A and B are shown apart, each in its own frame.
Chain A
């Protein structure tokens, strides 16, 4: 294997692991507090769409990212408020947001660009280019930010009162309530944080990774992020690592398709990330234990 291939595989792994890691880190915080949001897939695609729309209008991808985050905050707040104050069936809400996301973005794409499937190209967040031996290694600033966020969350969850409160709300909300923690507000805020990062992840797909909106471009990555959180045992560093492992297989798939695309049908490569995710998920599932009160609405007696 030549050095160029290794560099492009590594660069691609970082690119494709980032959206999964971002969404997973947000979901981790949401789940720690006792709320599960399986609708992050929908928030991702909506974030991707609106980030592209905003960039299309302003020609500034940074604005695009901010808009993606804001949209994520709105949907995270919706999920949080419904789950916390109206005791919503969180799984159903999540499925709803997923379907809503696919629908909304396809409708919007057809309206704005008058064509089904994809938007026009927009400007993207510039990458940091590193040259190694004449090979180009490109690193997105958002990837760097993601890795930094993972480390930051590790310390926040482990050593600060925020981590402690999140944990108590997710493990034993009654005790937390008695101890004076506002479980309702904390869970809503955690959902908002999760939504923000899912929107950010979508914006990354839109105005960093691809530079356009493509129908269904989240392609199940929201659910892969959910798998990362579970396999990562609700710890930021392990969750991030596993997200990039999934990113690696996605990158591998693309590179294999490039090399062997003439002999073997592309579908045989496209299924690789999903199969690998399933296998890793099944293999490591048993070892992880979710927060005790996950997906259970807290009601005061």
Chain B
């Protein structure tokens, strides 16, 4: 789920919250604010706290403890664990390198077509999880267009190689965005100082640029590591015999009906996920030597000598060409019967997705995402407002609770939801909630899906909200209060309009993420409520790549058009004419 990782990249401007800010102290909380806090905390507990608690209790139930015990003792499970770690390390390294190559070319090399290269690098972010994997199979699989038809090789892409290619290409945009932001905020005066002291360009690169970026490399590597080990979609499609923890948990639950075992496997996934999240957010960002002053001094001297440009540009352009080929494959594949076998033109795939049985999933997914998006956006903004402006003690806890939806791997979240909401929520004899997920649930389980969308996409709203709020002078809030507005009125009439652009971009990401999420959804979809991403998985499983490609294209089109629409809305931040 490449989109899941977009935020850390696009919002590097939101540093971890300082423990205490001088000059802005809000000691008094009015009753309404207290109620809002209680409500938000309640929602967070329901959406993320309870499912995680269920994972813990299930993991430490007798069956769960069996599985936990076997993870290190049984040879098979040790293999799974090793596979997972190996995958994380390789993808982390490959993705960071590709990301850095793209970022360095973008920031420091002189060539034409930078804008296009930038868009190509971001393409994997807006695409659904299988697009890359399925296309890579079509191109390089056993009867792949390039590997078999073109080169005549009998090549097996399934396994670690294929996973590395697919995950590397899917996740490198995160590293790219992070490192690009860092490279751009490096003070060019430092390069000038080094060169003034007699260092060559190559020397500057090795002794100034690279050391300054080391925290950035570390943080990208960790992010990609976690993304890679938590991913479920790609290992299912292209993993072959290469079993990792997430697929193991999936098999335990869907194949062996061993829920406690699945919970135990996912617990093993959860720990590194949370650890890396904490390290990345509260340590790496603080250690970073990159000064974010928002005012770059001077201009960077772009590298134009062929010796510096050609090697790097060649690599970058080759990768970019691969990405383009992959998406062209998706596009063409959607119009062909069976790509590589029967290449005749057909519209049947689109007919299936747009008008046939498949259209059901398209409408359901879009509607559920459209329901979840505003909820996630507003919730994220309120949370950001509480964190930055209202809550003094415990803001760290509140921030962490909100970000949990992003920090917890999707697979873990999905299993937690299946555990928590498949049965009615009963305390004593009182039924507090009916079953929200699974076959017997109300509304065909749609509610749980919306809840997953909300908790999964809320952190992006929260982050952009925090970043936006920290740029607004607290005196503006105070001026409003001083003129007689209560806390809530101030939020509605002053704060919310001011963070509207952040809110909208948060909403865009929330929507894109909701539409392309698979791993948490797959555990709670029901026959009544079909979701596009899980439909794509079953099409791929059944070998109907054409339908899968058509789904992917439609999904990309929906996401892109919503992003475009939002961008149109975000523009024009001018004050409205007066309202009399």
Is this pair of chains taken from one and the same complex? no
Residues of A within 8 A of B (CB): none
Residues of B within 8 A of A (CB): none
